[in-house]
Structure 1
Amino acid sequence: MRPRRSVLYMPGANERALEKAKTLPADALILDLEDAVAPDAKVAARERVCAAVGSYGDREVTIRVNGAGTPWHADDLRAVGAAGPSAVVVPKVNSAAEVHAIEKALSHAPDHTGIWAMIETPVAVLDCVSIASASERLTVLVLGTNDLAKELTAAQVPGRAPLLGPLSMCVLAARATGRVILDGVYNDVRDADGFAQECRQARDFGFDGKTLVHPSQVAPCNEIFAPSPEEVEHAHRVIAAFEEASAAGRGVATVDGRMIENLHVADARRTLAMAEAVGDTTPER
Structure 2
Amino acid sequence: MSNSPSDAHNESRSWLFVPGDRADRFAKALAAGADAVIVDLEDAVAPPDKTRARDAVATWLDAGAADGRRNVYVRINGADTAWFAEDVGAFAAHPGVRGIMLPKAADTAVLDAARARARVGLRLVPLLESAAGFAAIREIASTPGVERLAFGTVDFQVDTGIGGDGEELSFFRSLMTFASRVAGIGSPVDGVTTTIDDADAIEAAARRARRFGFGGRLCIHPRQIVPTHRGFAPAMEERIWAQRVIEAAEASSGSATVLDGKMIDAPVIQRARLVLAAAR
Instruction: Give the TM-score normalised by structure 2.
Output: 0.88
User: Which segments of 5 or more consecutive residues in structure 1 lack a partner in the other structure?
Assistant: 277-285
Matched residue SS, 1:148: helix
**1:212-251 to 2 correspondence within 5 Å?**
212-246=219-253, 250=255
Give, as a single letter, the amino acid of the residue that structure 2 aligns with 1:256. D
Identity among equivalent positions (%) equals 34
User: Which segments of 5 or more consecutive residues in structure 2 lack a partner in the other structure?
Assistant: 1-8
- Indicate if the aligned counterparts of 1:3 and 1:274 stay in contact, CA closer than 8 A: no
Question: 2: CA distance between counterparts of 1:254 and 1:50?
Answer: 58
Q: Does 1:182 align with 2:182?
A: no
Question: 2: CA distance between counterparts of 1:29 and 1:272?
Answer: 26
Match for 2:80 among 58, 66, 69?
69
Correspondence for 1:97: 109
Of 171-180 and 64-73, the range deviating more from structure 2: 171-180
Correspondence for 1:52: 60
State the 1:99 CA deviation: 2.2
CA gap of 1:194–1:232, structure 2 versus 1, over 3 A, is closer
Question: 2: CA distance between counterparts of 1:66 and 1:272?
Answer: 39
State the 1:254 CA deviation: 2.4
Of 266-275 and 118-127, the range deviating more from structure 2: 266-275
1:215-237 residue CA offsets vs partner (Å, 9 max, x unmatched): 11100001110223443343233
Correspondence for 1:272: 276
State the 1:264 CA deviation: 1.5
Match for 1:161 among 152, 167, 170?
167
Give, as a single letter, the amino acid of the residue that structure 1 aligns with 2:125. W
- Indicate if the aligned counterparts of 1:253 and 1:260 stay in contact, CA closer than 8 A: yes
Correspondence for 2:27: 19
Give, as a single letter, the amino acid of the residue that structure 2 aligns with 1:71. A
Matched residue SS, 1:10: strand
1:24-51 residue CA offsets vs partner (Å, 9 max, x unmatched): 1111111111110112222222222234
Question: 2: CA distance between counterparts of 1:146 and 1:129?
Answer: 21
Match for 1:255 among 252, 259, 268?
259
CA gap of 1:274–1:196, structure 2 versus 1, over 3 A, is closer
- Indicate if the aligned counterparts of 1:5 and 1:209 stay in contact, CA closer than 8 A: yes
Of 177-186 and 49-58, the range deviating more from structure 2: 49-58
Question: 2: CA distance between counterparts of 1:236 and 1:162?
Answer: 35
Q: Does 1:35 align with 2:43?
A: yes
Question: 2: CA distance between counterparts of 1:122 and 1:12?
Answer: 27
Matched residue SS, 2:116: helix
Give, as a single letter, the amino acid of the residue that structure 1 aligns with 2:265. E
Correspondence for 1:283: none
Give, as a single letter, the amino acid of the residue that structure 2 aligns with 1:86. R
Match for 1:132 among 137, 141, 144?
141
Question: 2: CA distance between counterparts of 1:93 and 1:20?
Answer: 29
Of 223-232 and 59-68, the range deviating more from structure 2: 223-232
Q: Does 1:117 align with 2:121?
A: no
Instruction: Give the TM-score normalised by structure 1.
Output: 0.86
1:146-200 residue CA offsets vs partner (Å, 9 max, x unmatched): 11000001213xx523222222211211122122200001112244333332222
Correspondence for 1:82: 93
Question: 2: CA distance between counterparts of 1:167 and 1:188?
Answer: 20
State the 1:56 CA deviation: 4.4
| Structure (1 or 2) with the greater helix fraction | 1
Correspondence for 1:202: 209
CA gap of 1:13–1:89, structure 2 versus 1, over 3 A, is same
Give, as a single letter, the amino acid of the residue that structure 1 aligns with 2:98. S
Question: 2: CA distance between counterparts of 1:268 and 1:55?
Answer: 40
- Indicate if the aligned counterparts of 1:27 and 1:59 stay in contact, CA closer than 8 A: no
Of 48-57 and 36-45, the range deviating more from structure 2: 48-57
Give, as a single letter, the amino acid of the residue that structure 2 aligns with 1:39. P
Question: 2: CA distance between counterparts of 1:49 and 1:232?
Answer: 42
